[in-house]
Chains A and B, each alone.
Chain A
Amino acid sequence: MAIRTEPFVINVGPQHPSTHGVFRMRVTLDGEVIVDMEPVLGYLHRGIEKLAEGRTYTQNIPFTDRLDYLASMTNNLAYAMAVEKLAGIAVPERAEYLRVIMSELQRIASHLVGVGSFLNDCGAFMTPFLYMFREREKILDLFEMVCGQRLTYNYIRIGGVSYDIPEEFLPALDKFVREMPGFIDEYDQLLAENEILLARAKGVGILPKELAINTSASGPVLRASGVKWDIRKADPYSVYDRFEFDIPTGSTGDCYDRYRLRIQEMRQSVRIIKQAAEQLPQGEVLTRVPLRLRPPAGEAYGHIEGPKGELGFYLVSDNSVTPYRFHVRAPTLINLTALRDMMIGWKVADAVIIFGSIDICLGEVDR
């Protein structure tokens, strides 16, 4: 005799340790199998897009820090690039190199948190998380040395970077670049062929290539599905065309591929930092722009390859000191649109892993 079941709706979140913030999923279950999932967003909405319309272009930079607070440098960079495009400001060469170094360091730091919390969700409670945080601390130390803060940097400005690096920065960076591949090997030793990780993540939450493109996913989520798309190569910004690096891609697009891809991207980031530090030219780091900048009327879209995907800022100017429209193309919000299709058919326990493998940051999703 077959057991009669009926769908049951449960709420995961908003206050749930595995939702990495205040994300809420309304999950419909049949037994233990997920038959439907509806994301509920907006618990961390601060209205940054509206707030930015009342502030000058320079005053908005601290706000961009608070979008994706795990990758503030790349947020600063994307916003500064959009404003520079709007106002036609040239950036000194040294500043471009510093921007590349900072955004690649930030990519490593963000991936460390992403991988760490993903493994935390897989059941390796806290141990890999703290391994990853040990290296993240070193990156934050470097950032603190340069700009004085550890989380909200406010470092990359319109027309360059706010200050030149102190003289002890490059030796410390060199030490980090030499040490980091060893640490990544250490993670690999712990996790690459780990039976538990393979059993839990391999083949789980597959995002097919076509669906990934159709949902306009970007970043590691897209590349893990086998699409070789990286804005650093596809539309080179800053000085990325001068460096040699590969774009790792996954094959199946499951959770394990997304995890592996982040590890491989960290290795590539270390490569870029090494080259950028060697080629770093001397000179100015900031083009002076007026404090109350008035860009000509028009619109501009600046986009970069952030740690979590394509991060873009769309700005409309009406020749006043404040932007007329300030829109953020948040990568994680758009990656989240594929979540429902990835989750359906899997068990409740897998939901947490699939969600963790996207590596979202709610500050950016809700803005």
Chain B
Amino acid sequence: MRFERYGIGIAKGMALTFKHLFRKPITTQYPEERLTVSRRARGNELIWDKELCVACTACARACPHGCIEMVTSKGADDKRIVDKFQLDTGRCIFCGLCVEACPKECLFIGCGYEKATYRRQELVLGKEDLLLSDRKQPSGYARPKVEATLPEQTMLLNRKQYLDRVKKWLD
């Protein structure tokens, strides 16, 4: 052990620590402050456009876990209609392969991510739960047209926006 150097490491470490006293924080005050997710974010929801769907079941076949269940039948005017479309989000790994497989671009992955529920049954989503609503934002994953309309992702922290928010609280 080199005793003549004893303490230099601590002194250097403390100098660095001291420097950080004057640095702005890099943390985010979640949930008050939220970062904008990526335009291609793969959140924990799936959004289905009922009108465009041709019931080809490509999404169900592409799923690695088989968590999408689609039952179809022939309608009156020889068109296939979807009788059952069910997604078990408890088993879904949000890989996005179903969205990529969709030939009519009627399936989107959503940007939402706070999807905790109290019961496991609530994780199984039926036809109505998958439709687009005001609370869901389709993401641009595999959908370049949607991607162009979304705001830019926050990289680490949008400092100015955060400080403005703090000012607003203080007022």
Contacts and interface: CB of A to CB of B under 8 A. Distances in A.
The reply to whether chain A is a binding partner of chain B is yes
Q: At the interface, is chain A mostly helix, strand, loop or mixed?
A: helix
Q: At the interface, is chain B mostly helix, strand, loop or mixed?
A: loop
Interface stretch (B33-41, B46-54, B122-130): B33-41
B16 A134 contact: no
B166 interface: no
B139 A141 contact: no
A194 B94 CA distance: 44
A186 B26 CA distance: 17
Contact of A148 (B26, B42, B152): B42
Contacts, number: 85
B10 interface: yes
Given A186-B16, A190-B13, A60 B64 contact: yes
A149 B10 contact: no
Given A145-B38, A148-B42, A152-B93, A59 B62 contact: yes
A63 interface: yes
B9 A147 contact: no
B42 A149 contact: yes
A155 to B, nearest CB: 10
Question: What range describes how many residues of A lie at the interface?
Answer: 35 or more
Nearest to A62: B95
Nearest to B100: A162
A63 B5 contact: no
A199 to B, nearest CB: 7
Contacts of A149: 41-42, 94
Contacts of A291: 62, 101
A138 B156 contact: yes
B12 A58 contact: no
Given A59-B62, A152-B93, A194 B9 contact: yes
Given A154-B95, A193-B5, A194-B9, A138 B155 contact: yes
A148 B9 contact: no
Interface of A: 55, 58-63, 65, 134, 137-138, 141, 144-149, 152, 154, 162-163, 166, 168, 172, 186, 189-190, 193-197, 199, 291
Given A145-B39, A148-B41, 5 more contacts: A59-B62, A149-B94, A166-B39, A190-B16, A291-B62
23 contacts: A58-B97, A59-B63, A62-B93, A62-B97, A141-B153, A144-B37, A144-B153, A145-B38, A147-B40, A148-B38, A148-B139, A152-B94, A154-B97, A162-B100, A163-B142, A166-B40, A186-B16, A190-B16, A194-B9, A194-B12, A195-B6, A195-B9, A196-B9
